[in-house]
Amino acid sequence: MLACSKFITVYAVAAGTVVVKSRRHLAKPHNRVAGSALVNDEERVWEILATLKNIVNPISEEFITDSFKAVKLPTDIKSLLRGRSFLDWFTKLQEKIGSPTLTMKIVLNHLQSRYSNAELAKMLHAASDGGIDFKLPLFEKWKQTFDAAKMFSELGLHEAKFENYFLTDPVFLIWIEYARYIDPSSWKSVLDVLDEEFVLHLFVEELLKGRPDPKTDSVQRSLILQSLLRINDPKPLPFLDLYATLQSADEMVENPFLRHSAVWLVEYAQHTDMKNWPRQIVNVLQREHPVSDLARWAVEAEAQPEFQTVGKAVVDHLIVVWKEEGVGKVINSPKSFEEVQEILQLRGVAVSSVVDNLATKVLVQYMFTTFYVETAVEELSVKLLSWLEAKEYRRLLVNDGKWPLDADMRRWLRLLLERDADNYLTRVLTDEELARNAVRAANREKKTLNQEMVPVPQRTMGIHAHLKKLFHELALDVYNDNLFTRPDFVYFFQVVAVLKGDDRKSLLFMDNLLERLFGNKFKKLAHNAITGPTDCPAFEAALDLVVYHWLRRQKSSEITILISDMLQDDKLSKNFMALIQREKEWLAKLNYYA
């Protein structure tokens, strides 16, 4: 038996005995590169050999059918291709045939004779993350008969009522992959079919109801973006129409910036270079909601990574508007603190609710991004303190309102805290000097009257005495199980760091102070703070205090015990990871100081 190709001759001398010999083409000069390339294509050679072997000693359809009957079929037929029994059957068949490619063709023919294309599509999808992947060979066979539209009908999708679950329907997803396989350079064939079957803008609305994540690189993401672009082609829809299409799919969520549709709007804007979308979306929403709501909602969105881009863009837009639309004789004079306060409806509200109102964050951010930093610090340190009074102002400084903070906002709050610490120190020293001056004045009067004079008070011993005085004024010397998590404690901790100017020195002072007051209760205070929420400033302060306290006393075993306790609770994984990291950092610092 003889088989010829351009560069090789295969002699089947007898069943199971094969010789491969390279030869020159009879009519053309020998191409050594092409010849060696073909001979070196090992898979192709073995496929030819396996084909010849099958001709000499053919594997009957009856054998394949009988052996397949022995396969233990799964209850859910779609998982057939990834089942252990099927994989073993395929492997044994491949060993008998000798070629993976030929085995694939034979098995595929057998599967097509037993199952519909819709069933095969389900199998293909299930095998995507494990099992034998028949996708490309099957797509090639389908391509000979079905275009995208015919395949849609063949898979029975034309009979289904479209719902948002289509996004997870394996048959639908395989159809999209197949349509993209036929025409990888364009989504036109996919969108043509969907527009014909469902009307594209209604199709998009249904897709969005499934709340797909626009940040994942998936077929669904590409499908929605391409559908949006198609809806707006060749002439883009008016913004209001596009916005209405997107928002209607998510209208049950009150905050419009926490709707998935808002994120899709940003994705669409980036693909179409629609840079003014924040202005347009604010203009639309202002018709039904006050700006104070928009500001608050935008900050709420900033706090969630998925919606951060939307929230930040809206806040930035509002700030730009206030910068350029200030009231005054000077053109483009920015709005004042009081004007923005009024716009955000923060004037006249209960002082206790101001810090927890996320719109307040926008007011502070506006001041720092509009005026010189020194000017903003000067104005805010006076106006916020007079407005909020001391206790609430301290909550603002340590971000007890849990605003989402970027690096700039952290730095600005730190500047306000530093100013407040300086003001406190100045105030204490001034009061002290006034008291000394009062004694001097009284002594002068007593001297005139020949009365006994009073000794002038000595100056205090320094910054430590003032800090201890502040600790007492804040009532932090009164034991409380949750002392470390109190906003006033966090404020004091940060003031110490500011005035001491060195984290090791400030922690040494704090440690000595706490040890003297609550030595035997430190462990309980530490445990309560370290096992609390990680997204608050109290947790950061407690981390340093706890690690420094035990390392200073060379009792790292106490940290290990604390970590072991945390490991018992899955909810504390973030906590103990942070504790381990902080311990590592402080070990490095203390070794450096040593």
Which pair of tokens denotes residue 515?
């040890």
pLDDT tens for 71-105 read: 666 656 677 777 777 777 777 877 777 777 777 88
The CB density around residue 489, as the number of other CB atoms within 10 Å, is 25
**CA-to-CA distance for 469 and 513, rounded, in angstroms?**
12
The CB density around residue 42, as the number of other CB atoms within 10 Å, is 8
Find the mean pLDDT for residues 301-318.
Answer: 93
pTM of the model: 0.69
CA angle (17, 21, 24) in 5-degree steps:
155
**CA-to-CA distance for 447 and 445, rounded, in angstroms?**
5
pLDDT tens for 410-460 read: 999 999 999 998 888 777 777 777 777 777 777 777 767 777 777 766 655
**CA-to-CA distance for 481 and 529, rounded, in angstroms?**
9
Whole-number pLDDT of residue 31: 46
4 bridge partner residues: 9
pLDDT > 60? residue 307: yes
pLDDT band at 18; cut points 50, 70, 90: very low
Per-domain residue ranges for the chain?
Answer: 1-51, 290-459, 465-593
Decide: helix, strand or coil at residue 19.
strand
Whole-number pLDDT of residue 57: 45
Contacts of 398 (CB under 8 A, 6+ apart): 417, 487, 490, 491, 494, 537
Whole-number pLDDT of residue 50: 47
98: left (phi over 0), alpha (psi -120 to 50) or beta: left
Which of 19-23, 212-216, 280-284, 438-442 holds the top average pLDDT?
A: 280-284
